[in-house]
Chains A and B, each alone.
Chain A
Amino acid sequence: MKDEVKIILDICDKILLKNVDHHLRLNLEPNSTQFKTLKNEIISSELTKLLVKEDLGGAGMTLTDIIPIIQLSAQYGTPIPFIETIISNFLLSELNIKAENDFITLTNKTENILIKKDKISGNFKSIPYLNLAEKILVETEIKNQKYIILFKKGGKLTLQKNFLSEPKFDLDASELEIISMIEKPEQMDVQNLLINVRSIQSFGAMEKILKLCIEYCSQRKQFGRTLSKFQMIQNHISEIALEVAASGASLSTLKNNNKNFYNLKSTAIPKIRTGIASGKVIALSHQVHGAMGFTKEYELSYFTKALNSWRNEFGNEIYWQNILGKLFLNQNKNFWEFLNN
């Protein structure tokens, strides 16, 4: 790990340790002091500009560099659009647009988009943390041309009914003010980028779940012994550890260079592997925790709900297995050749 990444990781760790707890997750209000303090510390320490080019006032780090930071944020169960803002600012920076000093959230699920002068109207779906962000970045298609558009929040927000830990909103917008609008370069695959962020977050959340399992089993006693001494429990936890380890290793496809975040094969491999792992980790960790894990007060469920949410976004692992299988079949290569290229 580069020294500069270690420094940033340390700064990030201190801020999240001080400000993020389960109380914040359960009582997340835009006007709460806890949220405002956290937001202020993140924005003022410029953590949302890690991927912004240096000549645009950012830290000039790469997507590969910030994998541990996305991972850390997920380990803390950070219930704010922190990573969404980092990614939005990255996309803006790639388009040579200055970063914003506020929380931004983003989506690529749009319908009925209409641009009139400097105003945007339309329906926007599944926007994470829209209640906590001031601006929205969207990827959308207008007359066979894809655009990246940044606009100010407004219109009607509808909270989606789902099993997620993080709030997601649909937005019906009418003539909201566009801040920037630019044609999307061909190579910029926003969906694959967002999927990869989710794969990294899933890995981080699974690491946290493993930690919770170890702590819980090492404290709770039944039949006169701590749970961790039961071989069956050890078996469950070692299987969780196996899945966590494999998930982390699957992210290796992204660690070579930034372009891999857009590449289909590099995206599909961790998307599938972390999706498979998530299913096993959710089931086993709840089994290990017994009824305690099923309560709202205990933090396990926050992370298992997050995993359930993320593994179902952008197509589940079955959908992606099919894409990856076809990617191989459509290339005129033997199997080993495909794996090695």
Chain B
Amino acid sequence: MTYFDFPHIEEDDNLKNLRNDVKSFLKTTFNSNNIKPQADAWMYSANPEFSKKLGEKGWLGMSFPKKYGGHEKTMLERYVITEELLVAGAPVAAHWIADRQSGSQIIRYGTEEQKKEIIPKISSGECFFAIGMSEPDSGSDLASVKTFAKKTADGWELTGRKIWSTGAHLSHYMIVLARTEKLDEKNRHSGLSQFLVNLKLPGVEINPIEDMTHQKHFNETVFNNVKLNKDALLGEEGMGWQQVVGELALERSGPERFLSHYILLDNFISEFRYKMSEMGITSLGKIISELQTLRMMSFSIAWMIQEKKSPDVQAAFVKEAGNVFEKKLIETIREMSNLIPFEEWSSSLKSLFQDATLRIPANSLRGGTSEIMRGIISKQLGLR
């Protein structure tokens, strides 16, 4: 009777060496390009030049087949690189979605032409993607999307609007979840399909949405009768729901769900290392235990994905537990500051802390809300 297994996976010497390689690369690249580490960098810090450099190192499209420009490395190797990029606060936002989930969707469901056309560019860090799932009236209830793709003689005509599309203004493509049949209330998950949409096509309109931190990283993307060729269909017509569920596992299970604000923690520890109270030290011990547990869970899922298992529910665990951890982290850091007033912290730490405080509400919203994660878990337990 084990409900949710997270098999133990050992980090071998090859992976440890890879960590060191990434660290050295980041140190050199940050110095020579004057790159400033940022919290929540996978969302807020886009730098296409940096993405290209990662591509040149062979650290994007790592698990993709070589014949499409990938590197046929393991998901565990990709995991290690991802962690190192996150803890360094590297500017990875431009390529993040393409490398994390869009490329894998294309490898899994795409046609030979789609793979040949797009995968080499993702692997070289020159092709970026946005997610086309949420809509103004379809947030958590993804099956209720209204964006419609109508079959035409030449292909498809896409009409509708997607929202919260992070990085769409920098991206080349979006994988759009659209209805290809009218909604059947008795079978809401049927009649959906995924499309590979070139965001430069006529009829695509990208409108920035300013978030509460005054940043414009996400958008509303409108499709005004956009003409798509037949080969824009990704995977099988009508199988969009099944495809998107697998994509969400990739989206939810990674270390960005608990390392988004690691750079704040790291800077805080450096500054307060010798000023911590017993209470602060005690809180730090809790952070170590919780963080290491999350890392083991996420690493285990990377292995499950590599082994072609379907860790959809385990991914929901990481997403939810990771979000809870990071939200608490901000509060814990306040408690750990040993009565040293905020005004006396270094300016760089203050800046990171303020960014994190403002950005943290998004953690348990993006990629599926906490309520949705708990719903997935409940369903798996047979409660609904």
Contact = CB atoms under 8 A, between A and B. Distances in A.
A273 B290 contact: yes
Contacts of B375: 234, 238
From A272, A325, A340, name the one whose CB has the most chain B CB atoms within 10 angstroms. A325
For chain A, what secondary structure do more than half of its interface residues adopt (helix, strand, loop), or is it mixed?
helix
Interface string B303-318: 0000000000010010
Nearest to A13: B1
B381 A252 contact: no
Contacts of B289: 250, 268-270, 272-273, 276, 321, 324
Nearest to A75: B1
B381 A237 contact: yes
A6 interface: no
A336 B89 CA distance: 13
A82 B281 CA distance: 37
A321 B383 contact: no
A278 to B, nearest CB: 13
A47 to B, nearest CB: 19
Interface string B352-384: 000000000000000000000111011001111
Given A234-B383, A238-B374, A324 B296 contact: no
A339 B288 contact: yes
A329 interface: yes
Given A248-B2, A321-B283, A322-B285, A269 B317 contact: no
A325 B374 contact: no
Interface string B257-271: 000001001100110
For chain B, what secondary structure do more than half of its interface residues adopt (helix, strand, loop), or is it mixed?
helix
B87 A269 contact: no
B103 to A, nearest CB: 27
B266 A336 contact: yes
A217 interface: yes
B140 to A, nearest CB: 13
Nearest to B288: A324
Contacts of A228: 382-384
A323 interface: yes
Contacts of A249: 6, 293, 296-297, 300
A255 B285 contact: no
Contacts of B283: 321, 325
Given A237-B381, A241-B3, 16 more contacts: A75-B1, A218-B382, A229-B384, A233-B383, A238-B374, A239-B374, A245-B6, A245-B321, A250-B296, A252-B6, A252-B293, A268-B285, A322-B281, A329-B281, A335-B265, A339-B292
26 contacts: A207-B3, A210-B3, A214-B382, A214-B383, A218-B382, A218-B383, A228-B382, A228-B383, A233-B383, A237-B381, A239-B374, A241-B317, A244-B3, A245-B321, A246-B293, A248-B5, A249-B297, A250-B292, A252-B6, A318-B282, A321-B282, A322-B281, A322-B285, A325-B281, A336-B87, A336-B266
Interface of B: 1-6, 8, 10-11, 16, 19, 87, 262, 265-266, 269-270, 273, 276, 278, 280-286, 288-297, 300, 314, 317, 320-321, 373-375, 377-378, 381-384
The 4 tightest CB contacts between A and B, nearest first, are A321-B285, A324-B285, A325-B285, A325-B281
Interface of A: 71, 75, 207-208, 210-211, 214, 217-218, 228-229, 233-235, 237-239, 241-242, 244-246, 248-250, 252-253, 255-256, 268-270, 272-273, 276, 317-318, 320-326, 328-329, 334-336, 338-340
